[in-house]
Amino acid sequence: MRIFAVTGLIAALMACAPPDLGASDYEPFSVPDNEWPGEEPPADLIPENWTVGNVAPQVEGMDQHGTTTALWQFWGKYTVVDVSTLWCAPCQELARSTEDLYQHYGDYGVIPLSVIIENESGGEATQEELELWATWPSRNENSEYEEITAPIISDFKGKSGSGTLVRNGQYPAIAIVGPDLRVRRRGLEANHRKIELAVEEVLCEDGITEFCR
C-alpha cells in the first residue's frame, strides 16, 4: 500500500510540474522594422532572466517614433537598459544624462535603452509621452544636448520582461547587457558617473584597453 501511495504522489507531482522548455519551444527572434541598429541573434538563443551571466528577456515595445523596438535586436551591441516610470524623479534625473552616455560611448557599440513601464498616472505611456521624455536633456543646464536620440520604449507594467529587473519597487532599475545578450551588470545606482564607470569596466573586460585603469 505504501509503495502505491508514494508512486501516486510522484505521478501527481510530475503532472503539476512545468514543462521543460527547450529551444524548440521558442520562435526565432525577428528584428522589427525600425530605425535602430538591428542584427539577428542566433536562432537557438533562449531568453532567461536578469541574473548576471544569463540571457536577458526579449524586452520590446513601441518606441518614441511609434515603431516596435526590441532589446534583442541589439545583438552585437552593449545595451544599457534602464527600467523607469514617468513619475519617478530619479528616473527623470537619469534621463537628463542619457544622451551624454550615448554620445560618449556610442562609437564603442553602446546603446542606452530606456524602458518606460508606467506613465504619471500609472497607465501605459503613449508615443507622445515618450517623445516628451526624450526632451529631458534640454532641461539639464550642464548638457549640450536637446533630446535623447537613443531608443525609448513603452513596456506597460514590464510585461515583456523588463519588470523583473525591478527590485522592491525601486526605479530606475539599470542593467548592462553584453553583445551576446547576456547580462553583465545589474542593480546599478542611478548615477551618471557610476554608470559610465560600469560601462568602461565591461568594455575593458572585453579587450577595449583604453578603458582599463
User: Which helix (H) or strand (E) segment is 6 a member of?
Assistant: helix 2-16
Of 175 and 16, the structure prediction assigns the larger pLDDT to 175
Render pLDDT for 100-122 as a digit per residue (tens, 0 to 9).
999 999 999 999 999 999 999 99
Cell of 36: 535602430
At 188, phi and psi to the nearest 5? Answer: -75, 145
At 147, phi and psi to the nearest 5? Answer: -155, 165
State the Cα–Cα distance between residues 178 and 164, nearest whole angstrom. Answer: 18
Q: What is the DSSP string of 158-170?
A: GTTTGGGG--TT-
Render pLDDT for 134-192 as a digit per residue (tens, 0 to 9).
999 999 888 889 999 999 999 999 999 999 999 999 999 999 999 999 999 999 999 99
Domains of the chain, first to last: 53-211 (3.40.30.10)
Q: Is residue 147 helix, strand or coil? A: coil
Question: What is the reported pLDDT for 25?
Answer: 56
Q: What is the pTM of this model?
A: 0.87
Q: Over 60: is that where the pLDDT of 59 sits?
A: yes
| Contact assessment for residue 133 and residue 116, using Cβ atoms and an 8 Å cutoff | yes
Task: Region of 52 please: left (phi>0), alpha (psi -120 to 50) or beta.
Answer: beta
Q: Cell 523583473, residue?
A: 164
